[in-house]
Amino acid sequence: MADAKDIFLKDATVNAADGDQRAFISKALGGYYTNRDLQKARYRDWERARDAASMAKWSAVNDLANVLEKFVTNFERNGGVVHWARDAAEARTIILKIAEDAKAKAIVKSKCMTSEEIHLNDALEKAGYGVVESDLGEFIQQLRGEAPYHFVFPCMHVKREAISELFTKHLGTAPTDSPEELTMIARRHLRQLYIDADIGITGANFLVAETGQISITENEGNARLTAALPRIHIALSGIEKVVNHLDDLSVLLPMLATAGAGQPMTCYNTLYAGPRKPGECDGPEQFHIILLDNARTRLLADPEQRDALHCIRCGACLNVCPIFKNIGGLAYGTTYQGPIGSVITPHLRGLKQWNHLSGASSLCGACTDACPVRIDLHHHLLHNRRNAAKESPTLFDRVFHNGFNFVIKRPWLFAVGGRLFRATLPLLQKLPLPYMSSWMKTRDLPKAPAKSFRDEWKTQENV
Amino acid sequence: MSDARSDIFARIREALKVKAPRPHLKAETSSPKTSVAAKPWLPDGGESVEASLQILSEQLAKLKAVLIRVPDHVSAARALADLVAQKSWKKVAYHGHPIIQPLVASLPCEAWEADKSFDKQRLEGCDAGLTTCESIVAQLGSILVSSQSSGGRALSVLPHAHVVIAEVSQVVPDLGTSLALAKARHGDTMPSMLSYITGPSRTGDIERILVLGAHGPKELFLILVG
Ligand code: SF4
């Protein structure tokens, strides 16, 4: 298998040169910027709201053991069953076991990035279950056999003609270029599947410790149906999704909607407390939650970057990132794309193989500004670069940094070196220098000035 | 082998031995937010009933939800019958609540009390679902339904349209107030589902172009009495 960095560099280069696709993505995001600004303007003080949102997550994450314990107690009191998974394999095993015990056949899923993280669909399909993604974007990506492009807008890179072709091929429907028609095709197709499914799998946006409820945010109504019609509801969630109080949602839900999609509130924000209760006419007989670690505790153990666990997965940092907009979401090769993905993937999957993502940033800070919970994203990218250089310095790191260290401490050597560098600069342009060649392929070195800064300083001082 | 639960807790306790700094707050003075105090930095929900109703109607219009205001229950029944006729709905499913029952008695179409003999296939075939709600959030245009106030989980999302009947007194200024109300009302026995519905179901998944009625109702009506 080629290494993640090589694939990334190759894909990123190809995508960045695809002007047509880049224009398409910019256009798709255009409406988002307008709506987000309109909604943000309704906040009487957006910055204060960010304070409150980040404090809500900070206080839960920094007291995670107690808050989780409280959540679990209340979740069980509501009649739900709690399962713990140290890693992806354990989570898959638990879900397969529930499906087997229930003699399930058909499974319907609503959008759940955590399930992408543990490659759940593959495992379920291999075990012989029919699995259907019900979120429109995820449904399209599932038919395409492709990972989501953006963790909030999974198929934002696909043009309507391609979707029409896809539906014609898989569902036998007539071609159309109307997004409305295409949406209705999916609606009609999926409705019967909810009704026939034995198990509904969802994610969770927030776990409310105080009440033991889980909160799910969605626009389409597919999560509502997934949790209403099948006889078993399984929710899969990372352990960091807890918040202390129900009231925390009064800040987090509107901000998630505004930052992520430019809405006042996402269309459905639903709180589930257990399976169907006595006196209720529908709802599942069983409600399970799988609480997943999968290296989150490793990120937790780094106090400097612990706040990356505050992420509410709104996607705002992707929408404003110049790198994301140019190379696209698939090039990252990660479950979570964009700035937040570049920050957390090295923690979740190894710094050595994934550090190259820390370089996929211009450090412009647009992500940090956009983040509703004030995660210091671009500094964390720098922290990862530093940590990688410490953990396993490359030859270049060593030679360059030690050399620089040596020279800078010796003013005479610095002066001589500078003169030499200025004299040979035109020549350097032509040499196939290691580490510099990819930079110089598209750029020329600047012309050397006649005088160094130090010489110039001396002249001016004497005037 | 130790079990996953205790392993994860051990990892968490170990990880949290080193404290993380508090986030850089813009306003250091902001008190830790655990009470249901008003949050004067969120979008405005109105200081008076009139102001709240004004904001609510603006929000609903932007969401493409339809607000029908009527003075009393008699006119609510008339408004509902008009709606059914205008939309030529043939089958309507309803939640058997004392304020809904009298309204459906004279409807010009088939009306079925869905929570008595729940049947998903039959519900899917209905043109509209008729429910009450717990509260309405002016600030965001959100309607809180629960598995108790709307006859279960499916009635407010499976039929092709959703009609909510509520009283003006159920309108609250903001989300915090609505959540506090739900907590006070249900305490430790929350309904198995509480759902904030903000406009008709929608998606932007195809080229980020807005389409209503992705999986849930294409149309949302709020008949507000009083
Ligand atoms: S890091 Fe912040 S901006 Fe990015 S997805 Fe998470 S919460 Fe949103």
pLDDT in tens, A131-155: 999 999 999 999 999 999 999 999 9
Final residue before a domain boundary, out of A246, A271, A294? A294
Q: What percent of chain A has pLDDT over 90?
A: 76
Question: Is the residue at A87 inside a domain?
Answer: yes
What is the average pLDDT across A293-306?
Answer: 96
Q: Which residue would you say has higher pLDDT here, B116 or B198?
A: B198
A positions 143-202 inside 8 Å of B (CB): 153-156, 158-160, 163, 179-180, 182-184, 186-187, 190-191, 195
Q: What was the pLDDT predicted at B116?
A: 85
CATH number at residue A216: 3.40.50.10420
Q: Is the pLDDT of residue A8 over 50?
A: yes
Q: What was the pLDDT predicted at A1?
A: 43
What is the average pLDDT across B158-169?
Answer: 97
Question: Is the residue at A167 inside a domain?
Answer: yes
What is the average pLDDT across A226-252?
Answer: 97
Pick the atom of ligand 1 nearest to A318's CA. Answer: 4
Mutate which of A50, A340, A342, A376 to test ligand 1's pocket (most atoms within 8 Å of Cβ)? A340
Is B37 part of the contact surface with chain A (CB cutoff 8 Å)?
no
**Which long-range CB contacts under 8 A does A8-17 form with residues at least 24 apart?**
A8/A331, A8/A332, A8/A333, A8/A356, A8/A357, A8/A360, A9/A356, A11/A327, A11/A330, A11/A331, A11/A333, A12/A327, A12/A331, A12/A360, A15/A326, A15/A327, A15/A328, A15/A330, A15/A331, A16/A326, A16/A327
What is the average pLDDT across B126-155?
Answer: 95
**Binary contact (B194, A271; C-beta < 8 A):** yes
Nearest chain A residue to B180 by CA: give it: A247
Q: Using a 6 Å cutoff on CB, does residue A68 contact ligand 1?
A: no
Final residue before a domain boundary, out of A263, A294, A325? A294
**Binary contact (B39, A140; C-beta < 8 A):** no
Number of domains in chain A: 2
ipTM above 0.90, yes or no: yes
Q: Is the pLDDT of residue A446 over 50?
A: yes
Q: Which residue would you say has higher pLDDT here, A382 or B25?
A: A382
Range of the domain at A173: 43-294
Q: Which residue would you say has higher pLDDT here, A250 or A392?
A: A250
Tokens of A148: 């989501």
What is the average pLDDT across A48-76?
Answer: 97
What pLDDT band is residue B33 in, cutting at 50, 70 and 90?
very low
Instruction: Give residue B5 CA to ligand 1 midpoint distance, Å.
Output: 28
Question: Is the residue at A333 inside a domain?
Answer: no
pTM as predicted: 0.92
Q: Is the pLDDT of residue A127 over 70?
A: yes
Q: A189 vs A27, A448, B136, CA distance in Å?
A: 29, 66, 33
Check whether residue A105 and residue A236 sit in a common domain: yes
| A148/A154 Cα distance (integer angstroms) | 4
Superfamily for B21-225? NagB/RpiA/CoA transferase-like (3.40.50.10420)
Q: How far is A426 from chain B (nearest CA, A)?
A: 47
What is the average pLDDT across A219-233?
Answer: 97
Summarised one tens digit per residue, pLDDT across range A311-356 is: 999 999 999 999 999 999 999 999 999 999 999 999 999 888 898 9
Q: Using a 6 Å cutoff on CB, does residue A309 contact ligand 1?
A: no
Q: Using a 6 Å cutoff on CB, does residue A343 contact ligand 1?
A: no
- Provide the residue type at A59 as one letter: S
Q: Is the pLDDT of residue B31 over 60?
A: no
Question: Is the residue at A299 inside a domain?
Answer: no
Question: Is the residue at A85 inside a domain?
Answer: yes
Q: Is the pLDDT of residue A95 over 90?
A: yes
What pLDDT band is residue B35 in, cutting at 50, 70 and 90?
very low
Q: Is the pLDDT of residue A434 over 80?
A: no
**Binary contact (A282, B217; C-beta < 8 A):** no
Q: What was the pLDDT predicted at A2?
A: 59
Contact B215, B156 (CB under 8 A): no
Nearest chain B residue to A110 by CA: give it: B215
Question: Is the residue at A453 inside a domain?
Answer: yes
Burial of A414 (0-12, 13-18, 19+ CB in 10 A): middle
Q: What was the pLDDT predicted at B1?
A: 52
Question: Is the residue at A352 inside a domain?
Answer: no
Final residue before a domain boundary, out of A277, A294, A311? A294
The rounded Cα A131 to chain-centroid distance in angstroms is 23
In chain B, residues with a C-beta closer than 8 Å to the C-beta of A274 are 192
Tokens of A67: 């808050």
Half-sphere exposure of B186 (CA within 13 A, CB side): 22
What pLDDT band is residue B27 in, cutting at 50, 70 and 90?
low
A positions 68-97 inside 8 Å of B (CB): 68-69, 77-78, 84-86, 90
Q: Is the pLDDT of residue A96 over 80?
A: yes
Q: Is the pLDDT of residue B26 over 80?
A: no
Q: What was the pLDDT predicted at B37?
A: 62
Check whether residue A289 and residue A146 sit in a common domain: yes
